Structure 1
Amino acid sequence: MLLGDFVLDRGVCVHSGSAVDALGRLGVTAHATRSTLTRMVHRGLLHRQRDGRRMYYGLTPRAAALLHDGRARIWETGAVNENWDGTWTLLCFSLPEAWQRQRHDLRSRLAWSGFGPLQGGLWLAPGEVAAQDIVEELGLSAHARVFHARAADLTDIGAMVREAYDLTALAARYQSFLSRWEGPPPLSDPLAARLTLIAEWHDAIRRDPRLPVEHLPPEWPAHRAQSLFRTLEKSYLPPARAIAADLLDLRFGHGIDEA
């Protein structure tokens, strides 16, 4: 969340020491922060550049794409789907029994994109989802088919939603968020509070398929949780930015990886 908040789209790199200082306010150790930065470099998510004796870390295009996706989910898409047009995306697939890794990767990507398993190899998601992109990226186009459809009148959509999605688990994530952030603030440091708030909200919504509200139980907790998140995020933003401006050592980056 630190990189998404203060590095993304700014063309800058952050000094490792100031990243250690910032995350230390959340209780993250220096060793853990430096180890994470190194792992992200090895995974192609960060590049390094040296300025004298200081090492700076910047986002690679791959990391920027992931952060843009997270940003869209947090601030644009949201957790409440009140404008569903009645369409569904259906994906059916059949993979060889030995392809356990491919099956795991496909199911993980489908779940991230809002799909739920209806039966066997048939998954569905509300609205029009670019499922073809998923199977193409995984090299599974020959083993999957994608359709866009509407449910006929005889279909009990509420029952179908309950069958394909674990609504109890979805609601529990929002209830947990509300329990932690309603009432007295759990953290007094504005920067630590903002980064933690965004990270925990992203964790709450990252596997939410954004099901149409008319087919969810009454008093669905995502409404209240989202309202709380947006109120707190705005209140933490000015003091968090002021702290970050003093704390973070940023340099314009050129994307050269240094040893």
Structure 2
Amino acid sequence: MEDDDILDTTEGPQPRPQSLMLTFFGNHVLEEGDLGVYSGSIIDVLGRVGVGEQAVRSTLTRMVNRGLLQRQREGRKMFFGLTPQAGRVLIDGRTRIWKQGAVNDDWDGSWTLLGFSLPDSWKRQRHDLRSRLTWSGFGALYSGLWIAPGHVDVSRVVTDLGLTAHVKIFHAQAAEVTDIEQMICDTWDLESIAARYVAFDKRWSAHLGNGTDHDPIGTRLRLVSDWLRTIRTDPRLPARHLPPAWPARPAQETFHRVAQQTHPALTAARATLETTHLRS
């Protein structure tokens, strides 16, 4: 399975159906354990954000085939729930969204460095490793040496990809002669990261001024999916080494304001979604 298919690290004007599908399950299923949702309910909710029925059905089938969803038939209806693999992805996303936050004010001065050397023919493995490292907050200091702020445990990533013998991981601090601000500018595309936050804040600040929300379920689905896409390539760099007025802070405040407004959607969804408990 390609990591980009799970993490949706590709660029584009709109999130892909699979990204929205994972957000849907993260919003309404992750906390419920073995819950399965009727395909008709999924079609209804994703239809609110512009995903057609055929796209929903094909995405559900593809995600089952890739081990992200499990399905269970009851009579003429098909119900879908999370697999352990998808659960791990969503738990990671939940931590990034609701616990860590986008602003790193408590950096301890440490860095995690990962060096790798792969055969030239291992293009797929190299792509997978880089995708997973980007999601984990790493940037390319040099071609085969990646760095991330803080103590980042990527041992499972390396093991899952079967690259343990080709990777070396270190935890260290920069010497005083190192210009950390310059290193950050050289390693990460700060302009692009900042632009994502500015665009998010603009979109959702406008939403806050629109008054009554007639579809909080659809709004929350769009909101969380959009925020996850915004923070996905942000390594949470130490705030004290970023440019003044870094836009992640106001964007995060806007996210939480809209999230608070749409929180009743979680209760509303429980009343409208047709569900069942999946058999082990």
CA contact (8 A) 2:116 2:166 kept: yes
Q: Secondary structure at the match of 1:83?
A: coil
More displaced stretch, 17-26 vs 179-188: 179-188
Matched, 1:160 2:186: no
Deviation at 1:136, TM superposition (A): 2.1
The structure 2 residue matched to 1:169, chosen from 184, 192, 204, is: 192
* 1:88-99 superposed matches below 5 A: 88-99=111-122
Q: TM-score, normalised by structure 2?
A: 0.87
Matched, 1:219 2:240: no
Aligned-CA RMSD value: 1.3
Question: Paired residue for 1:2?
Answer: 24
Identity between Structure 1 and Structure 2 (%): 53
Give the paired residue count.
254
Matched, 1:244 2:269: yes
The structure 2 residue matched to 1:192, chosen from 218, 235, 238, is: 218
Q: TM-score, normalised by structure 1?
A: 0.94
More displaced stretch, 95-104 vs 146-155: 95-104
More displaced stretch, 68-77 vs 129-138: 129-138
Supply the distance in 2 between the matched residues of 1:233 and 1:184 (Cα, whole angstroms). Answer: 12
CA contact (8 A) 1:24 1:30 kept: yes
Deviation at 1:23, TM superposition (A): 1.2
In the alignment, residue 194 of structure 1 is paired with which amino acid?
A: R
* 1:226-241 superposed matches below 5 A: 226-238=252-264, 240-241=265-266
CA contact (8 A) 1:88 1:128 kept: yes
Q: Deviations over 1:134-181 (max 9, x none)?
A: 222212122221111101111100000111101011001101101111
Larger Rg: 1
CA contact (8 A) 1:21 1:247 kept: no
Question: Paired residue for 2:12?
Answer: none
Question: Paired residue for 1:203?
Answer: 229
Q: Deviations over 1:63-96 (max 9, x none)?
A: 1111111111100111110000000001111111
The structure 1 residue matched to 2:100, chosen from 64, 77, 90, is: 77
Supply the distance in 1 between the matched residues of 2:246 and 2:274 (Cα, whole angstroms). Answer: 42
4+ residue runs over 3 A deviation: 184-188
CA contact (8 A) 1:12 1:58 kept: yes
Question: Paired residue for 2:51?
Answer: 28
In the alignment, residue 168 of structure 2 is paired with which amino acid?
A: R
Supply the distance in 2 between the matched residues of 1:103 and 1:57 (Cα, whole angstroms). Answer: 33
Segments of 5+ residues of structure 1 without an aligned counterpart are: none
CA contact (8 A) 2:36 2:81 kept: yes
Matched, 1:108 2:134: no
* Cα 1:110/1:184, change in 2 over 3 Å: closer
Question: Paired residue for 1:67?
Answer: 90
CA contact (8 A) 1:22 1:247 kept: no
Deviation at 1:241, TM superposition (A): 2.8
Deviation at 1:194, TM superposition (A): 0.8
